Chains A and B, each alone.
Chain A
């Protein structure tokens, strides 16, 4: 029972961070109908941002969010404006291949400059796990979880309360209608891409103290990310949250009760099953 509670908790905590990565991919898909294969590399850049912030300028990894999130937001907007905008009219497969190229480029530039070494971030605090209700929780993961909740909450407010947020949701639900209603779709797309990139970067920064970081970590993360958004239904933000937490829990419980070596495989099998039998996601309305 104790093991169960323990792995359930760590599953939920990791899942919340997965969810944040998933939200980034899913909002971009919702608005632009593109699947960004370079999304995992955005997370990787966030992780290395936290690492170098600490290594070079003694920045606290969590505090470095204040620096990296706006930078990633700008970077995402520029990427859309300068590169992707011209590719998207060429069709979804071309766009998919283009982001595949981008993913290869970013990952291998990182590999070239930072080498393939596995790195870790050591925090000066929180060496001892906290133990609420007898469950041990690593401090970096707990902090990351709280910050992820705050960021997700802020995003929720942004999407539901601001004009830009409403425009994003409108475009996501019905692009043509949004154009007719006078939404500046170009601008919405640019800001959405910035937002997606910033969310991936933020998740990377938050995950950095809890994971090994290496330049090709994006490969693993992107596949997980697909699992999450497909579970929740591509384009759905609440779906991505649910999908992220579900994947976190399934992996964590699977590692304990099924097989730790096939932990990642459980997610993939779930992914294929959902793609086949519920392509609109576990929580989507079947069509």
Chain B
């Protein structure tokens, strides 16, 4: 019961937010936060729980974005179907990537994922028949849709907000499930000591590949949502290495291997990003880099991790006096 309470509160807050949203920019920021929560959670299941630092998640995001876009433009599949299909394709693509990269450990794994992302980007740039090369794709309108008899207004932000909220909840719920599952325990064991994990009978490769697939599914859906919301996909926009870095940043600053971390990280990143973007244009990445360095130096457990630690020490102090 206790563990359900924050979820209920969160769902109510999410449902209430658009009612109180003062303007569409506010809603736009909320949508970005939710999208980045999903992406941070996607990276976190692999990087935070299993300790496998990927610098290549932009590739999975990009695959999801391209698949959703191409399905819509070339096969007429609506984005709300295209998003989960994009996630599935990204998850499928992650299997060979995982089998190759997971033969390596630690920093070598990270470098291999970086190379994979660069290869995917090169393919997107050059395989013009499918990806339209550097130009990419643009959609002008979305197909009409009726939900409970009401026509959806694609010019307002609200429908996107609903989709983003559902996706973010899916990301957070997967993380919460992972935390209590056996797979989650295996991942922590792998992070702590991979040889010892094998010694006690954990199939480390299988656990990592499965987690990467879950991570890829979430990241791919994030990419699909991006395509759907911004209505625009090209290699620079959806396969840029800085996207991978932003996912790392969110999980790192929010709290590696925690459930709430990606949400906190996404709020922080988006707020900083949007505040700075108005004044400095592309300068927001300066602050991402700076905050990442500061977080690793002074708060390696992240904002959420630090808050939880403070809370439990406070709790121990209060309860300690009462019980003793």
Contacts A93-B51, A97-B53, A226-B115; is A104 near B245 (CB within 8 Å)?
A: yes
Measured CB to CB, the residues of A under 8 A from B are 35, 83, 86-87, 90, 92-94, 96-98, 100-109, 111-112, 116, 219, 223, 226-227, 230, 261-262, 264-265, 268-269, 271-272, 275-276, 279
Residue of B51, B123, B292 with highest tally of chain A CB at under 10 A:
B292
The answer to whether B126 and A262 have CB atoms under 8 Å apart is: yes
Which residues of chain B are near A35, meaning CB under 8 Å?
107, 110-111
Which residues of chain A are near B317, meaning CB under 8 Å?
none
Which residues of chain B are near A96, meaning CB under 8 Å?
53, 107, 110
Q: How many angstroms between the C-alpha atoms of A264 and B293 in the bound complex?
A: 30
The contact of A226 among B114, B241, B242, B289, by CB within 8 Å, is B114
The A interface, classified by DSSP as helix, strand, loop or mixed, is: helix
Q: How many angstroms between the C-alpha atoms of A93 and B300 in the bound complex?
A: 11
Which residues of chain A are near B300, meaning CB under 8 Å?
90, 94
In the complex, residue of chain B having the shortest beta-carbon distance to the beta carbon of A220: B118
Q: How many angstroms between the C-alpha atoms of A204 and B48 in the bound complex?
A: 35
Q: How many angstroms between the C-alpha atoms of A223 and B122 in the bound complex?
A: 13
The answer to whether B289 and A269 have CB atoms under 8 Å apart is: no
The answer to whether A111 and B282 have CB atoms under 8 Å apart is: yes
| Closest chain A CB from B212 CB (angstroms) | 16
Which residues of chain A are near B103, meaning CB under 8 Å?
276
Answer whether residue B80 sits at the interface, using C-beta atoms and an 8 A cutoff.
Answer: no
| Closest chain A CB from B79 CB (angstroms) | 30
In the complex, residue of chain B having the shortest beta-carbon distance to the beta carbon of A96: B107
The contact of B293 among A83, A90, A108, A109, by CB within 8 Å, is A83
The answer to whether A100 and B55 have CB atoms under 8 Å apart is: yes
Taking A223-B118, A272-B112, A275-B115 as given, write out 19 further A-B residue pairs in contact, using a Cβ cutoff of 8 Å, ordered by the A residue number. A35-B107, A86-B297, A87-B297, A90-B296, A92-B106, A97-B252, A101-B290, A101-B292, A104-B245, A104-B288, A106-B289, A109-B286, A112-B280, A112-B283, A262-B122, A265-B118, A268-B119, A271-B115, A276-B100
The B interface, classified by DSSP as helix, strand, loop or mixed, is: helix
Which residues of chain B are near A223, meaning CB under 8 Å?
114-115, 118
| Closest chain A CB from B295 CB (angstroms) | 8
Q: Lowest 9 A-B CB distances belong to which pairs?
A: A105-B289, A104-B289, A101-B292, A108-B285, A101-B293, A108-B286, A261-B126, A268-B115, A101-B289
Answer whether residue B158 sits at the interface, using C-beta atoms and an 8 A cutoff.
Answer: no
Q: How many angstroms between the C-alpha atoms of A93 and B192 in the bound complex?
A: 12
In the complex, residue of chain B having the shortest beta-carbon distance to the beta carbon of A261: B126
Contacts A264-B122, A265-B122, A272-B116; is A112 near B296 (CB within 8 Å)?
A: no
Q: Mark B45-66, 1 if CB is under 8 A from A, else 0.
A: 0000001010100000000000
Count of chain B residues near A, Cβ 8 A: 41
| Closest chain B CB from A282 CB (angstroms) | 15
Q: Mark B223-259, 1 if CB is under 8 A from A, else 0.
A: 0000000000000000001100100110010000000
Interface residues of B in 86-126 (CB under 8 A from A): 100, 103-104, 106-108, 110-112, 114-116, 118-119, 122-123, 125-126
Instruction: Give the total number of A-B pairs whose CB atoms are below 8 A apart.
Output: 114
Q: How many angstroms between the C-alpha atoms of A226 and B115 in the bound complex?
A: 9
| Closest chain B CB from A20 CB (angstroms) | 20
The answer to whether A226 and B252 have CB atoms under 8 Å apart is: no
The answer to whether A272 and B100 have CB atoms under 8 Å apart is: yes
Which residues of chain B are near A269, meaning CB under 8 Å?
119
Which residues of chain A are near B107, meaning CB under 8 Å?
35, 92-93, 96
| Closest chain B CB from A40 CB (angstroms) | 11
Q: How many angstroms between the C-alpha atoms of A83 and B242 in the bound complex?
A: 23
Which residues of chain B are near A227, meaning CB under 8 Å?
115
The answer to whether A268 and B126 have CB atoms under 8 Å apart is: no
Q: Mark B199-227, 1 if CB is under 8 A from A, else 0.
A: 00000000000000000000000000000
Q: How many angstroms between the C-alpha atoms of A116 and B282 in the bound complex?
A: 10
Q: How many angstroms between the C-alpha atoms of A97 and B256 in the bound complex?
A: 12
Which residues of chain B are near A92, meaning CB under 8 Å?
106-107
| Closest chain A CB from B256 CB (angstroms) | 9
The answer to whether B282 and A112 have CB atoms under 8 Å apart is: yes
Contacts A265-B122, A275-B111; is A97 near B248 (CB within 8 Å)?
A: yes
Residue of B103, B285, B296 with highest tally of chain A CB at under 10 A:
B296
